[in-house]
Amino acid sequence: MALTDLIDIELAVPNPGELQEFWNRRGLATTGTGRLGTPERASQIRLTESDYRHVSQMRIATETQEDLVQISNSLTALGAQVELGDGWLESIDPLIGHSVRVEVARNAPLEQAPSREVNAPGKMIRQNRRSEAAVSEWTPKPRRLGHVVFGSTDTKASVDYYVNGLGFRISDRLPEVEATFLRCSTDHHNMLILPAPVPCMNHYALELEDFDAVGLRGIEVVKERPDASVYGIGRHVVGSNVFWYLLDPAGGMFEFFADMDQITDDDLWDLEIRREDWDPFTIATYESGTSKMDFFLPADIDDIASGRERAGL
Ligand SMILES: [Fe+2]
């Protein structure tokens, strides 16, 4: 696969300052003007001001200039808008309207999370001390941006643009609800395309170290704002990831996730594991509580619709 990584997203919101402080409290550092990152990856979310909430750009990494030329040709063949430069390519998503920038780049590798001492039947690993997750001695930070999910008014055309134009690969599909999981790295999904009456971002997702880290960071958000939880904590079937969906102060949904399936052998996955016939109700193996409607469609969809109209989209 030519594509190797999701680099970052640019998130346009009416209140970037408030959102920046929210993420600073969650452990992302301000690494430049409106830029949030981790110690290993300085740019994960770039914040900019807009009168409606949307993703304005996503950046993706590929290996070579030749890859860019090939992607440019594929996008042109689809009739998509594309500009090719030295080491970069920029295209406008024809359905949703954001910029997709592909760069010859590589994400910095992540240092392995230190293994925690966890007891289990027959395994006394942590002896004579309490768990750091129980006594608040641990403040895990988001390690990276993992994926972004979009609602499209034409999911077939959107999947065509990302797969046949940009070179994303399909990991799984839920055909009855027109949900397609796409990857541009070893993650099971870096993107999910869902149907929506108005093109929108459904959620963005940050990876934490494990189930406890998702729980500890998620409950902090709920303590700050009791109605912030949308769905979770639980474990998905498709992608296998532990999840907790919450609302940010811009009204956008985000996900803390851990333990997602990693696909290092594309042929093996395509031949033996990928399914394009998932039942539409295959959402979670277990979860605490039912999801709110925001899980499927943002509560501020009318604001997004009028914002898009003002922007001439
Ligand atoms: Fe997600």
Q: Domain coordinates of the chain in residue numbers?
A: 3-108+140-310
Mean pLDDT of 103-131: 95
> Which pLDDT belongs to residue 260?
98
Within a 10 A sphere around the Cβ of 143, how many other Cβ atoms? 21
Mean pLDDT of 258-279: 96
Above pLDDT 70, what percent of the chain?
100
Distance 180 CA to ligand 1 centre (A): 12
Distance 190 CA to ligand 1 centre (A): 9
Distance 39 CA to ligand 1 centre (A): 23
d(CA 260, CA 147): 11
Asked whether residue 312 carries a pLDDT value surpassing 80, the answer given is yes
Distance 220 CA to ligand 1 centre (A): 19
Token couple for 65: 């200039």
Distance 203 CA to ligand 1 centre (A): 7
Asked whether residue 283 carries a pLDDT value surpassing 90, the answer given is no
Which CATH architecture group holds 3-108+140-310?
Answer: Roll (3.10)
Sheet holding 45-49, edge to edge: 29-32, 35-37, 45-49, 3-13, 54-62, 99-104, 88-92, 82-84
- pTM above threshold 0.85: yes
Question: What one-character-per-residue DSSP string does 19-52 give?
Answer: HHHHHHHTTPEEEETTEEE-SS-S-SEEEEE-SS
For the CA atoms of 89, 95, 98, 102, what is the dihedral angle to 10 degrees? -20
Distance 256 CA to ligand 1 centre (A): 8
Asked whether residue 291 carries a pLDDT value surpassing 60, the answer given is yes
Token couple for 44: 């994960």
Asked whether residue 285 carries a pLDDT value surpassing 70, the answer given is yes
Mean pLDDT of 203-225: 97
Above pLDDT 90, what percent of the chain?
92
User: What are 34-79's pLDDT values in tens digits?
Assistant: 999 999 999 999 999 999 999 999 999 999 999 999 999 999 999 9
Per-position b or e across 119-137, b if 16+ CB within 10 A of its CB = eeeeeeeeeeeeebbeeee
Q: ω before 92 within 30° of 0 (cis)? A: no
Mean pLDDT of 168-193: 97
User: What are 73-112's pLDDT values in tens digits?
Assistant: 999 999 999 999 999 999 999 999 999 999 999 999 999 9
> Which pLDDT belongs to residue 296?
87
What is the phi/psi pair of residue 203, to 5°?
A: -165, 160
Token couple for 177: 């609800």
Distance 84 CA to ligand 1 centre (A): 30
Mean pLDDT of 258-287: 93
> Which pLDDT belongs to residue 1?
57
Distance 10 CA to ligand 1 centre (A): 17
